[in-house]
Amino acid sequence: SVRTLDKADVILVAPSRCGKTPTTMYLALQHGLRVANYPLVDEDLASTDLPRPILHLQDRCFGIITTAARLSAVRTERRPDSTYASLRQCAYELKRAEALYRTHDLPVIDSSAKSVEEMSTLILQVLARRAHRHD
């Protein structure tokens, strides 16, 4: 829920079907973190501004990307022959998401070639480095 984003230790930001939910579940169940998903929708992708609900939480955000082909394949399973699943739409959303991540210097994890465990390890490493810097 957007109302509970402030309580999250980590916020995974990505277009729909990039792997946010399995990673969220793994980090929560295996590592006891409070993890939120923030799905980027068309309005969010129209600019490189962080969406208002996560604007003040940038330090907790991690961007997730994948390849357009993989995203299209996953979305096709859900909604075959749709604009949502088209390679063109997927490429557009990923390009816009990457621009947003780059603008705000968010750590980015590519889910196309990493397991949930590997993605989680990368997130935990970033969190540990940040904690070490603040000590």
The predicted-structure confidence for 71-125, as pLDDT tens digits, reads as follows: 999 999 999 999 999 999 999 999 999 999 999 999 999 999 999 999 999 999 9
Beta strand pairing status for 108-110 and 35-40? unpaired
Q: Where would I find the H helices in the chain?
A: 20-31, 42-45, 68-78, 87-103, 116-134
CA distance 75 to 97: 17
For residue range 10-52, what is the model confidence (pLDDT) as tens digits?
999 999 999 999 999 999 999 999 999 999 999 999 999 999 9
**Full-model pTM:** 0.94
* CA nearest to 77, candidates 13, 5, 16, 9: 16
Residues 47 and 95: their CA atoms lie apart, in Å, by: 12
